[in-house]
Amino acid sequence: MTKLEELTALLVNEINDFNNGLEKLEKINEQLKETKIKMDISEYKSIIESHQQQMEFHKETLEGFEKRFSNKIKEAKMYPTWAVVVFIVCMVTCVGLVSYMFLK
């Protein structure tokens, strides 16, 4: 009977240890469920901000180039003004001479 009592005591101790282990695991499981995982994005944030500043600089540079290019196109003329005036005067003179020759 002593051996049976010893075995029973050992089983009771093992069951108690097992229950204590289960309770600890349940507490840990609850803590894990309540814990929210957050990523540290500060490094990525700084990289993105520097990239954004570079993109802003490139955008401003392109806008400045576009404005200069647009102004050049607006100011550009196909022919100089003096050449257009000389051409018109020559055409009027030629038409006048041709009509004078036909009417004479």
Residue 69 lies in a domain: no
Q: What is the pLDDT of residue 75?
A: 80
Q: What is the pLDDT of residue 28?
A: 92
Positive or negative, the Cα torsion across 56, 61, 64, 65? negative
Q: What is the pLDDT of residue 17?
A: 92
Q: What is the pTM of this model?
A: 0.42
Residue 80 lies in a domain: no
Q: SS3 for 104?
A: coil
Residue 26 lies in a domain: yes
- Residue type for position 32: L
Residue 95 lies in a domain: no
User: Distance (Å, rounded) from C-alpha 56 to C-alpha 54?
Assistant: 5
Residue 21 lies in a domain: yes
Mean pLDDT, consecutive 10-residue stretches, the chain (104 aa), reads 82 91 93 82 90 96 94 79 91 93 84
Residue 51 lies in a domain: no
Count how many domains the chain has: 1
Residue 13 lies in a domain: yes
Residue 83 lies in a domain: no
User: Distance (Å, rounded) from C-alpha 9 to C-alpha 1?
Assistant: 12
Which residues form the domain of 21? 1-36
